[in-house]
């Protein structure tokens, strides 16, 4: 669904950013696994998960707890461990997930932007000796932020997680990336991408979020080349839980849906709206992470089939939000359509300059052969019909993200 947006309207071309990018993607020479690294094929007994208070991370934690017997350390940005426990509990409650069992989930206060993840030498080394697998999810970020703003967390966080992975008894490093890496102008001449394609070159401009994700992948690739077993999972648009309807309210897609409900108009989603429920994505990531033969690859986490184009508008009408389908150009030109009016982030005003991509723009096509072959049709893909979107809209209403409307502000 991010292909709805004109990423050319969010370019980060600061000279200081571009000058540092080449150095940023060089992984420290001392970050490499021991030559005697023993790679196990069994389920991990101890896991480190970052980003557990976010939408993807909270659901991946739930998946790990339901599908394994592992103890899970959750790195949470907090002042102390007690605050970390509270933040994690609030996140799980917000997404209608079960409270974490105290004997299996250990929230630890840390900071991805700091050396050793903000942990002391002793505890960092202890994690390295205990942890079998790392699932690295960067925290929720504002897609309109500059690369220099995102760099400390995305780049330093990735480097420090790789440092930990190379220091101890790691089975596999699971890196959660996203499809937005293909949105960089450097790759604009390509209309198709496979999972095995290498994103060579050094971007001279781009959206800060996409630059950060691209740079993090480059670091992971270098660790792979040095012998660390790593998987890269590129996520596309991730929508609400197929049963609870719990959804992310802090991304561009949520902003577009809420703005459309207010306007009474929704941009024609044909060939662009291709989300997948968060529970399906997390189940698929977990399943891939457990396949010994699937290690060391990149996976495009895309739905096996697109959602019906009329499912969301139909559900919106049934929930009291009548929507008409218009072109992206018409939607962008509707009075009041500026996404800068949507107070989802503290600095959400930076989104005011974003427009939807023209209907004449053909998004690049990404193939997911590695994913399809490794999953072999499992997990089952949920039905994304009007009933599914009704559950998601009810969740939006319940948490106060959308309000009842009597008459749309545009007819």
Binned at pLDDT 50, 70 and 90, residue 214 comes out as very high
Q: Which residues have C-beta within 8 Å of that of residue 64, sequence separation ≥ 6?
A: 47, 49, 70, 72, 135, 286
The answer to whether residue 134 is domain-embedded is: yes
pLDDT given for residue 99 in this prediction: 93
pLDDT given for residue 64 in this prediction: 97
Number of domains in the chain: 1
pLDDT given for residue 76 in this prediction: 98
Q: Cβ distance 76 to 88 under 8 Å? A: yes
pLDDT above 70 covers a percentage of the chain that reads: 83
pLDDT given for residue 355 in this prediction: 56
Binned at pLDDT 50, 70 and 90, residue 1 comes out as very low
Structure letter (DSSP) for residue 211: H
The answer to whether residue 397 is domain-embedded is: no
Q: Cβ distance 329 to 304 under 8 Å? A: no
The answer to whether residue 252 is domain-embedded is: no
Q: Residue 148, exposed/middle/buried by CB under 10 A (0-12, 13-18, 19+)?
A: middle
pLDDT given for residue 259 in this prediction: 84
The pTM of the whole model exceeds 0.85:
yes
pLDDT, mean of residues 133-151: 82
Binned at pLDDT 50, 70 and 90, residue 39 comes out as low
pLDDT given for residue 3 in this prediction: 41
Q: Cβ distance 378 to 301 under 8 Å? A: no
pLDDT given for residue 96 in this prediction: 97
pLDDT given for residue 232 in this prediction: 97
Mean pLDDT (the chain, rounded)? 85
The strand pair at 230-235 and 298-301 is best described as parallel
The answer to whether residue 357 is domain-embedded is: no
pLDDT given for residue 405 in this prediction: 55
pLDDT given for residue 141 in this prediction: 67
Q: Give yes or no for residue 281 having a pLDDT over 60.
A: yes
The answer to whether residue 391 is domain-embedded is: no
**Which of 304, 319, 322, 324 is CA-nearest to residue 386?**
319
Binned at pLDDT 50, 70 and 90, residue 340 comes out as very low
pLDDT given for residue 166 in this prediction: 93
**Which of 331, 336, 329, 354 is CA-nearest to residue 251?**
354
Q: Give yes or no for residue 16 having a pLDDT over 80.
A: no
Between CA 401 and CA 253 the distance in angstroms is 13
Q: Cβ distance 137 to 99 under 8 Å? A: no
The answer to whether residue 180 is domain-embedded is: yes
The torsion defined by the Cα of 238, 244, 250 and 256, in degrees rounded to 10, comes to 70
Q: Give yes or no for residue 384 having a pLDDT over 70.
A: yes
**Which of 47, 48, 52 is CA-nearest to residue 90?**
52
**Which of 291, 304, 301, 296 is CA-nearest to residue 374?**
291
Q: Give yes or no for residue 139 having a pLDDT over 90.
A: no
Alpha helix segments (H runs only) across 97-251? 121-130, 147-167, 208-225
Q: Give yes or no for residue 353 having a pLDDT over 50.
A: no
Between CA 321 and CA 58 the distance in angstroms is 29
pLDDT given for residue 191 in this prediction: 84
pLDDT given for residue 347 in this prediction: 37
pLDDT given for residue 235 in this prediction: 95
Binned at pLDDT 50, 70 and 90, residue 43 comes out as confident
pLDDT, mean of residues 86-108: 95
Range with lowest mean pLDDT among 26-35, 48-57, 104-113: 26-35
What is the residue range of 103's domain? 18-239+277-301
pLDDT digits (tens, 9 = 90+) for 357-367: 555 556 678 88
Q: Give yes or no for residue 49 having a pLDDT over 90.
A: yes
The answer to whether residue 145 is domain-embedded is: yes
pLDDT digits (tens, 9 = 90+) for 222-249: 999 999 999 999 999 999 999 999 999 9
Q: Cβ distance 194 to 136 under 8 Å? A: no
Instruction: Tell how many helices (H) and how many strands (E) occur in the chain.
Output: 12, 15
The answer to whether residue 314 is domain-embedded is: no
- Per the model's pLDDT, the better-predicted residue between 241 and 199 turns out to be 241
CATH number at residue 154: 3.40.50.720
Tokens of 376: 């072999």
**Which of 192, 403, 211, 397 is CA-nearest to residue 201?**
211
Between CA 297 and CA 58 the distance in angstroms is 24
């Amino acid at each position: 669904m991010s292909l709805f947006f004109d990423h050319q309207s969010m370019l980060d071309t600061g000279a200081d950013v571009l000058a540092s990018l080449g150095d940023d993607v060089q992984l420290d020479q001392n970050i490499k696994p021991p030559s005697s690294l023993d790679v196990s094929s069994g389920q991990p007994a101890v896991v480190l998960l970052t980003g557990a208070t976010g939408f993807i991370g909270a659901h991946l934690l739930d998946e790990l707890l339901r599908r394994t017997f592992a103890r899970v350390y959750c790195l949470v940005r907090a002042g102390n461990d007690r605050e970390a426990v509270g933040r994690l509990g609030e996140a799980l409650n917000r997404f209608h997930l079960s409270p974490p069992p105290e004997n299996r989930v250990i929230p630890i206060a840390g900071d991805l932007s700091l050396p050793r993840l903000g942990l002391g030498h002793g505890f960092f080394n202890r994690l390295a000796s205990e942890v079998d697998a790392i699932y690295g999810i960067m925290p929720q970020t504002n897609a309109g932020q500059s690369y220099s703003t995102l760099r400390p967390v995305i780049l330093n966080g990735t480097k420090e997680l790789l440092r930990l992975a190379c220091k101890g008894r790691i089975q596999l490093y699971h890196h959660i990336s996203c499809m937005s890496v293909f949105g960089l102008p450097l790759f604009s001449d390509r209309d198709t991408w496979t999972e095995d394609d290498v994103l060579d070159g050094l971007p001279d401009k781009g959206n800060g979020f996409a630059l950060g994700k691209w740079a993090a992948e480059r670091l992971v690739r270098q660790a792979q080349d040095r012998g660390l077993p790593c998987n890269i999972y590129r996520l596309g648009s991730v929508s609400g839980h197929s049963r609870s309807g719990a959804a992310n309210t802090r991304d561009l897609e949520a902003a577009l849906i809420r703005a459309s409900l207010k306007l009474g108009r929704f941009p024609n989603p044909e060939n662009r709206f291709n989300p997948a429920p968060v529970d399906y994505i997390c189940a698929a990531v977990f399943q891939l992470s457990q396949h010994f033969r699937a290690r060391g690859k990149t996976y495009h986490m895309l739905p096996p089939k697109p959602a019906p184009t009329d499912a969301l508008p139909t559900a919106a009408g049934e929930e009291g939000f009548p929507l008409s389908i218009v072109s992206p150009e018409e939607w962008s030109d509707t009075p009041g359509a500026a996404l800068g009016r949507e107070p989802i982030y503290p600095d959400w005003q930076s989104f005011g300059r974003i427009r939807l991509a023209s209907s004449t723009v053909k998004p690049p096509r990404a193939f997911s052969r590695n994913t399809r072959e490794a999953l072999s049709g499992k997990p089952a893909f949920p039905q994304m019909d009007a009933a599914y979107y009704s559950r998601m809209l009810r969740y939006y209403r319940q948490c106060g993200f959308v309000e009842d409307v009597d008459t749309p502000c545009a007819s």
